[in-house]
Structure 1
Amino acid sequence: MDDFELSCKGLYRALTIREKYMRLAYQRFPRTASQYMREMEGESFKPEDQVQPVFTRLPENGGDPFDIKELPKNLGYVARMKDGVIYVYNDAAAADKHQPKDLPCADYETFIDDMNFLIALIAQGPTKTYTHRRLKFLMSKFNVHEMLNEMEEMRELKLNPHRDFYNCRKVDTHIHAAACMNQKHLLRFIKRSYRVDAERVVYKLNGREVTMKELFQSLNLHPYDLTVDSLDVHAGRQTFQRFDKFNAKYNPVGASELRDLYMKTENHINGEYFATIIKEVASDLEDAKYQFAEPRLSIYGCKPDEWSKLAGWFVRHRVFSPHLKWMIQVPRIYDIFRARDFVPHFGKMLENIFLPVFQATIGPQSNPDLSIFLKHVTGFDSVDDESKHSGHMFCTKSPKPEEWDIAKNPSYTYYIYYMYANITVLNQLRKQRGMNTFMFRPHCGEAGAITHLLASFMTADNISHGLNLKKSPVLQYLYFLTQIPIAMSPLSNNSLFLEYAKNPLLEFHKKGLVVSLSTDDPMQFHYTKEPLMEEYAIAAQVFKLSTCDMCEISRSSVLQSSLSHEEKVLYLGEDYLKEGPEGNDIRKTNVAQIRMAYRYETLCYELNRIKEGLKAE
């Protein structure tokens, strides 16, 4: 077998691996790739075989998003964890005998076999050469397309009435709720809350209840004297390659008390200030009309009641906006919890993260707040400093989560696998019950080993960052073939891991990977009231992006996002699920049809080459 055939065979198997795991978890796999794969297998492609995640649609005509009348009835099922994955049983007797209901989930041994195959593939000489050449070709091809068609694209956009870059929809696909306001917004809010609530009891200091005035006195501060500089929440030169210093920036004036008071959902005032700040950010987005955000709230897995507290906060303060789609982030900090004896083993942390969600899915009536909150949650994210090395290799000999009782943190892949496995079973159950499903959208490839991107290739619907794809031509080419969306945050990377001019955003965009722009943490990185526009504006200046480029990135952000099917039809056109020019409605997206045709033909050409390579065998 020559090198070309060998590469095609390996790439085809990699595509089948991703397709299998996406279908299992009700996540997306592109139609075009599926179509070519069916042709390679000599089978016919059926569009109805494609699976899509299910998102909660917006309440109609002023309906109440917190309405509990429509909740499905309770089922008497029992959910229990075994080997790090939660299984659902008909009753306690079936649970004791481990006779779970038929909810397909990822098989541990097969998953590790597939992973080992991919690890070998990305290091395989012929495949590296082949993919490197194809990527180089894609880059040159786009440059030629630009030279030939730039004026045509521009003409097409000029003839498009009403729509321009400002009024095409764009989604901030990666933003953390605790830093979703800019520094000036936070400063103004602190000063305003002091003017209104100086005498209000807001905090427990060393077991004693104190008013806001006393709290600031204990910190030797007066809000009137505070400035953006003394607030010191902006990342700068000091945070480069220092994730620890960056995390400390979440404390205004370096005081964790102020972080607890203003940026937490659980505190002496039940997270009232945090809810108010988020509602103000949402109100700014609603005023801007064309911008949406997907903020992440944290669940740590430290205690089993975290979910009910978070849901209580969400419902009590009615933190709903049609412009916000909520996600749950799980920090990878088991080692800290274990060292402080908060959890006996890693399995307990997983149980605290997933069991309450299973219980609310089985018995929505018994957990009304959590059930309502889960309707508005669209996915899970895995977050932390990726450059921390765990030293553990995920393999068949790895201890099961219930046996992982050492204080060392498991590897990134270990976390990813168990999160994916639980989300898969959960989605199967929720789909059966007619509820919304969750996407898995981890932070990945910001730093650390290349295997992180490999684990996400198998398990994630889309990822945030993806910088390290630069280091692996094989993975980069696979991310292109499977059109995995990547939420990139060049301003954030500029302060932490990579200078702005070296960011691969432009290179990825030219090659045809699906990229969107996101802010990550406006509090740390941005200056204006519209941080997402700031992100686009800086990228446009530094990378010399055309209007068509910007609108294409905006369109990708809506596709990547968790906006419901109905909203996507409204903002992208009713054929948005089709790929290529027929799936694009220029009146809504302002992306030239020439550009869409170029992207589609290029992708088909690459997939066709793999098909030819397999035929040659």
Structure 2
Amino acid sequence: MSSKLPAGKQKPTSPFRKRGSLQYAASTDLRGGRHLLTFQYSLPGIPVAKHGPVDLRTSMDGKYKEIAEELLSRSLAESEMRSAPYEFPEDSPIEQLEERRQRLERQISQDVKYEPDILLRAKQDFLKTDSATDLEYLKEQSEAQLDLYPEHELIPEKEYQRVTISGEEQCGVPFTDLLDAAKCVVKALFIREKYMALSMQSFCRTTARYLTELGDRPLDPNAYQEMPETSVTAEAPVHPKTHPYEGLDPTSMPPDMGYSCKMIDGVVHVFTHKTNMEKATELDLPYPDLQEYIADMNVMMALIINGPVKSFCYRRLQYLSSKFQMHILLNEMKELAAQKKVPHRDFYNIRKVDTHIHASSCMNQKHLLRFIKRAMKKYPKEIVHVEKGREQTLMEVFESMNLTAFDLSVDTLDMHADRNTFHRFDKFNSKYNPIGESILREIFIKTDNHIEGKYFGHIIKEVMEDLEESKYQNVELRLSIYGRSRDEWDKLALWAVKHRVYSDNVRWLVQVPRLFDVYHTKKQLSNFQEMLENIFMPLFEVTIQPSSHPELHVFLQHVLGFDSVDDESKPEHHIFNLDSPLPASWIEEDNPPYSYYLYYTFVNMTVLNHLRRSRNFNTFVLRPHCGEAGPIHHLVSGFMLSENISHGLLLRKAPVLQYLYYLAQIGIAMSPLSNNSLFLSYHRNPLPEYLSRGLMVSLSTDDPLQFHFTKEPLMEEYSIAAQVWKLSSCDMCELARNSVLMSGFSQKVKSNWLGPNYIKEGQESNDIRRTNVPDIRVAYRFETLCEELNLITQAVRSEELETIEEEAPCMSTLHSAQ
């Protein structure tokens, strides 16, 4: 069942239509979404192939909108609750009593139907006492295991003890429930695959391969060839000899494309002429239209509260935890022995990336204190602030507070989070102000101030020097763009270039605080579209004509993507649906909901990525703060639109989403020490549970200024986690490897850190000489993921085969009658 344009009928060409939308670039199928008609590539070289019309109809079809609206209304009414309204207690985690009774009746009816086979199998199992028979049985199981992975050679059995499950209905739920759950899970994965392909973000290769096998044709053997790197990284060495901000020459920039851009209904559109708009035609830069996104969102919201799907996913997650414990019992000593055989390499000298850390708090409090004291002694007469038209020197600023350099101490700064910040995000935000004075925050940890961020640039460079000295630690720092004015990007880029704030160990992400309501109340913004224009229009302008913003063009080469930040526990007073005001019409005092921010960030980033790819520039990804607090549907938006997320604590309350995040291998940067001070005590943090189940998690610091004490906050994070949760050396090296995989460093850098084959699947991707992760652990993760993907895809395929077998006699009867 697909909707296509009639033959000979042209697509709408009006530039003010939803041009390039998936509405026209894809056809509708029964997955609840549209699939692409042509190959689309996601970074780094992950394709999304055509899929055939697999029947994914479920019992919820036609009810998605009603279910989603009911759930969103319930979360809106109970928005002040800290936990999700549909959280289930641990002692009865599956369903209500009525549903359990119905499931039991279905199981009994199936057992009765197949009772002869069940009794026969039971007798056969009982008679299998002969050792030769047992050996033959194990041999058959081993061959079946090899059949699951025909494309990958497994580690010999003597080196790796595997746990296999034999028999039918291995998942422990009735086949009808398995089939319905498998269809829902596959449908959700198809939705994510579509959005990742369209926005040029990465999608798990293994998952993509299994989804492709559900299509109407085999996978193209050339489909997984890596895309060539952009000119920004391909020709440059891993560690360039010259500083990238030296010799900036606007005349040597790429030429002007002569395009113009305009924001319409919250999305930037690009046209071929700057002056003569009547003759201008719009470039075909695809993005998902609002109607399609809302429809997919409704599908996802309905899936996560479906009873049988929750039961299935909960059971699979419990199985994954138990299987890992068995793997540790059987293979822990072998993993340790494999690590001991590797010369030179250990946990201290493998690469680690702090995938979630804010630039304004990347230093510890002692480092900031020393810098402030040094600045007071070195630059006492420097004018650093203007108060009501009167210039103030650094000495005068501190004299107005009755303070001297000698008076300052860590306790005086008062920037460390304590027990009073727990569930008090407002008190935590005030900790960013040294001595409680916002003027000191503006002087020392802001890029846009009277001294053009001089002090902040110096202290960031000192942090960079510490990282370069350690060699093996790298960070992805967040810098803020608020969207209050058009020149914010130029000021930020000028700060980086002027003060030469660059290091091979550092990459940037740009965070956009969700503070429209604050700016609108202060009359700084008239509507939400103005905020979007301030954020994205300079990026389109510098992509079209790099010489118009030369510093920004160079700075963007080291920017990885966008982050969305703020207190997620704030109550939301609006449900994002088709009746929501468009950005130009959003003039309400209430802040737009989380999904509203994320959607308009995503669509503009998608259009921008297509434009930048056409010029062979680097593209961006979306990596928001998601699931730290607030309603569960934040994680739904993150699943659909984000390459990686930060925090993800609420996945512990949503088994369906947690299972989907596992199958899609979505990166989750977790910060247990940060969570311990704000939202969740350390011993309740789900990180060890996520790690054991195989989710792509990494350790990060978030805000060392508020939460850490030492010069190496990332090592502090690892050391505390290892002590509290008794992590093994293999666990810690796996976390470090995950952090590199989910980071935004270039393919060439990752190849140097992880090995030349890191992009491949299974143990073939691992180089223990660089990662210190045993092949046994990598093989276990890969095979377990393949088993889970095989379980759901086989269920969908088996129904297709049964349907074909049932239809074949009918068709033959029909032909004979004719």
Q: Normalising by the residue count of structure 1, what TM-score does the alignment of the two structures yield?
A: 0.98
Look up the match of 1:268.
450
Secondary structure of the equivalent of 2:185? helix
Counterpart pick for 1:138 among 294, 315, 320: 320
Q: Is the CA contact 1:27–1:52 (under 8 Å) kept in the aligned structure 2?
A: no
Look up the match of 1:158.
340
Shift of 1:391: 1.6
Counterpart pick for 2:417 among 235, 244, 251: 235
Q: Is the CA contact 1:81–1:87 (under 8 Å) kept in the aligned structure 2?
A: yes
Q: Are 2:245 and 1:63 equivalent residues in the alignment?
A: no
Q: Is the CA contact 2:335–2:776 (under 8 Å) kept in the aligned structure 1?
A: yes
Q: Look up the equivalent residue of 1:5 and give its one-letter code.
A: L
Q: Are 2:184 and 1:10 equivalent residues in the alignment?
A: yes
Task: Provide the C-alpha distance between the structure 2 equivalents of 1:33 and 1:68, rounded to a whole number of angstroms.
Answer: 43
Counterpart pick for 2:778 among 588, 596, 616: 596
Task: Provide the C-alpha distance between the structure 2 equivalents of 1:373 and 1:251, rounded to a whole number of angstroms.
Answer: 28
Task: Provide the C-alpha distance between the structure 2 equivalents of 1:414 and 1:52, rounded to a whole number of angstroms.
Answer: 32
Q: Is the CA contact 2:258–2:274 (under 8 Å) kept in the aligned structure 1?
A: no
Q: Is the CA contact 1:40–1:611 (under 8 Å) kept in the aligned structure 2?
A: yes
**Structure 1: 5+ residue stretches without partners:** none
Deviations 1:255-278 (A, max 9, x none): 111001000011111110000000
- Ranges of 4+ aligned residues in structure 1 off by more than 3 Å: 46-56, 58-61, 67-70, 92-99
Look up the match of 1:444.
626
Secondary structure of the equivalent of 1:495? helix
Look up the match of 1:347.
529
In structure 2, do the counterparts of structure 1 residues 526 and 615 end up closer, same or farther at CA, with 3 Å as the change threshold? same
Number of matched residues?
617
Q: Look up the equivalent residue of 1:22 and give its one-letter code.
A: M
Task: Provide the C-alpha distance between the structure 2 equivalents of 1:314 and 1:397, rounded to a whole number of angstroms.
Answer: 42
Q: Look up the equivalent residue of 1:34 and give its one-letter code.
A: A
Task: Provide the C-alpha distance between the structure 1 equivalents of 2:726 and 2:277, rounded to a whole number of angstroms.
Answer: 60
Shift of 1:612: 1.4
Secondary structure of the equivalent of 2:557? helix
Q: Are 2:214 and 1:40 equivalent residues in the alignment?
A: yes
Task: Provide the C-alpha distance between the structure 1 equivalents of 2:365 and 2:290, rounded to a whole number of angstroms.
Answer: 45
Task: Provide the C-alpha distance between the structure 2 equivalents of 1:476 and 1:270, rounded to a whole number of angstroms.
Answer: 44
CA RMSD of aligned residues (A): 1.5
Shift of 1:176: 0.3
In structure 2, do the counterparts of structure 1 residues 491 and 97 end up closer, same or farther at CA, with 3 Å as the change threshold? farther
Shift of 1:97: 8.4
Q: Is the CA contact 2:485–2:534 (under 8 Å) kept in the aligned structure 1?
A: yes
Following superposition of structure 1 onto structure 2, how do residues 273-292 of structure 1 map, counting pairs within 5 Å?
Answer: 273-292=455-474
Look up the match of 2:200.
26
Task: Provide the C-alpha distance between the structure 2 equivalents of 1:373 and 1:14, rounded to a whole number of angstroms.
Answer: 36
Secondary structure of the equivalent of 2:446? coil
Shift of 1:616: 2.5
Deviations 1:507-551 (A, max 9, x none): 000000000000000000000000000000000101100000000
Q: Look up the equivalent residue of 2:370 and give its one-letter code.
A: R
Look up the match of 1:330.
512
Secondary structure of the equivalent of 1:328? strand
Q: Are 2:756 and 1:574 equivalent residues in the alignment?
A: yes
Look up the match of 1:149.
331
Q: Look up the equivalent residue of 2:460 and give its one-letter code.
A: I
Counterpart pick for 1:184 among 366, 372, 375: 366
Q: Is the CA contact 1:389–1:411 (under 8 Å) kept in the aligned structure 2?
A: no
In structure 2, do the counterparts of structure 1 residues 499 and 96 end up closer, same or farther at CA, with 3 Å as the change threshold? farther
Q: Look up the equivalent residue of 1:586 and give its one-letter code.
A: I
Shift of 1:615: 1.7
In structure 2, do the counterparts of structure 1 residues 97 and 479 end up closer, same or farther at CA, with 3 Å as the change threshold? farther
Task: Provide the C-alpha distance between the structure 2 equivalents of 1:357 and 1:177, rounded to a whole number of angstroms.
Answer: 21
Task: Provide the C-alpha distance between the structure 1 equivalents of 2:784 and 2:697, rounded to a whole number of angstroms.
Answer: 16
Task: Provide the C-alpha distance between the structure 2 equivalents of 1:527 and 1:222, rounded to a whole number of angstroms.
Answer: 24
Secondary structure of the equivalent of 1:601? helix
Q: Are 2:666 and 1:484 equivalent residues in the alignment?
A: yes
Secondary structure of the equivalent of 2:349? coil
Shift of 1:611: 1.2
Q: Comparing 190-199 with 272-281, which one deviates more in the overlay?
A: 190-199
Look up the match of 1:247.
429
Look up the match of 2:117.
none
Q: Are 2:698 and 1:516 equivalent residues in the alignment?
A: yes
Look up the match of 2:739.
557
Higher RCO (CA-CA < 8 Å; seq separation 6+): 1
Shift of 1:64: 3.4
Q: Is the CA contact 1:34–1:45 (under 8 Å) kept in the aligned structure 2?
A: no
Q: Is the CA contact 1:447–1:467 (under 8 Å) kept in the aligned structure 2?
A: yes
Look up the match of 2:651.
469
Look up the match of 1:376.
558
Q: Is the CA contact 1:335–1:408 (under 8 Å) kept in the aligned structure 2?
A: yes
Deviations 1:192-227 (A, max 9, x none): 001111122221123211111111011121121111
Look up the match of 1:108.
290
In structure 2, do the counterparts of structure 1 residues 540 and 11 end up closer, same or farther at CA, with 3 Å as the change threshold? same
Deviations 1:37-68 (A, max 9, x none): 11122432246545879674355641331254
In structure 2, do the counterparts of structure 1 residues 498 and 94 end up closer, same or farther at CA, with 3 Å as the change threshold? farther
Secondary structure of the equivalent of 1:616? helix
Look up the match of 2:272.
90
Deviations 1:270-322 (A, max 9, x none): 11000000000000000000000000000000011111111111111010100
In structure 2, do the counterparts of structure 1 residues 387 and 94 end up closer, same or farther at CA, with 3 Å as the change threshold? farther
Task: Provide the C-alpha distance between the structure 2 equivalents of 1:47 and 1:220, rounded to a whole number of angstroms.
Answer: 72
Q: Is the CA contact 2:256–2:544 (under 8 Å) kept in the aligned structure 1?
A: yes
Q: Are 2:588 and 1:406 equivalent residues in the alignment?
A: yes
Q: Is the CA contact 2:663–2:785 (under 8 Å) kept in the aligned structure 1?
A: yes
Q: Are 2:597 and 1:415 equivalent residues in the alignment?
A: yes
Q: Is the CA contact 2:516–2:591 (under 8 Å) kept in the aligned structure 1?
A: yes
In structure 2, do the counterparts of structure 1 residues 135 and 307 end up closer, same or farther at CA, with 3 Å as the change threshold? same
Secondary structure of the equivalent of 1:605? helix
Secondary structure of the equivalent of 2:702? coil
Look up the match of 2:392.
210
Deviations 1:417-443 (A, max 9, x none): 000001100011111100001111000
Q: Is the CA contact 2:207–2:663 (under 8 Å) kept in the aligned structure 1?
A: yes
Secondary structure of the equivalent of 1:73? coil
In structure 2, do the counterparts of structure 1 residues 351 and 52 end up closer, same or farther at CA, with 3 Å as the change threshold? farther
Secondary structure of the equivalent of 2:268? strand
Shift of 1:579: 2.0
Deviations 1:457-476 (A, max 9, x none): 00000000000001110000
In structure 2, do the counterparts of structure 1 residues 212 and 29 end up closer, same or farther at CA, with 3 Å as the change threshold? same
In structure 2, do the counterparts of structure 1 residues 603 and 397 end up closer, same or farther at CA, with 3 Å as the change threshold? same
Task: Provide the C-alpha distance between the structure 1 equivalents of 2:242 and 2:185, rounded to a whole number of angstroms.
Answer: 48
Counterpart pick for 1:611 among 793, 804, 807: 793
- The structure that has the greater radius of gyration is 2
Q: Look up the equivalent residue of 1:545 and give its one-letter code.
A: L
Task: Provide the C-alpha distance between the structure 2 equivalents of 1:538 and 1:191, rounded to a whole number of angstroms.
Answer: 30
In structure 2, do the counterparts of structure 1 residues 114 and 61 end up closer, same or farther at CA, with 3 Å as the change threshold? closer
Q: Look up the equivalent residue of 2:199 and give its one-letter code.
A: A
